[in-house]
Amino acid sequence: MRLFLLTNQMLIGNGLANLIGVNIAKLISQRSISPPPPTAMSLFARVDFIFPLLSFALVLIVTIVYELPIRRFLNRCYTLNGYKLRFPLAPSPIGRGLG
């Protein structure tokens, strides 16, 4: 479970940020002083269908591609150390002293 959370924190965070952004964009596009013309309404309906799908798909793909080396490193550390996350370059607490 810990490995899953470590590898997917950025993906979950980007998904939440994207969800907030899509809702704000929809709120702004639907608020108007005067009603928009019918041609604009049909355009808004198409954009409203396509924009959330594309925005979530793009963020998902870019985040996974960006995180591939990070995910490989975490998986390697997790499996090599017997299900304990120990990073090879982590500073040792032994050399710090007590006071």
Domain range for residue 64?
2-84
Residue 93 covered by a domain: no
Q: What is the mean pLDDT of the chain?
A: 76
Q: Is the pTM of this model over 0.75?
A: no
Q: Is the pLDDT of residue 84 over 50?
A: yes
Count of domains for the chain: 1
Do the domain assignments include residue 6? yes
Q: Quote the pLDDT of residue 99.
A: 46
Split at pLDDT 50, 70, 90, the class of 91 is low
Tell me the pLDDT band of 94, cut-offs 50, 70 and 90. Answer: low
Closest CA to 1 of 85, 70, 73, 81: 85
Domain assignment present for residue 65? The answer is yes
Specify the higher pLDDT residue, 54 or 33. 54
Angle at 51 between CA 45 and CA 53, to 5 degrees: 115
Tell the burial category of 2 from Cβ atoms under 10 Å away from its Cβ (0-12, 13-18, 19+). Answer: exposed
Residue 12: CA atoms inside 13 Å, Cβ hemisphere, count?
A: 6
Within a domain: 95: no
Please check whether residue 58 lies inside any domain of the structure. yes
Q: Is residue 47 part of a domain?
A: yes
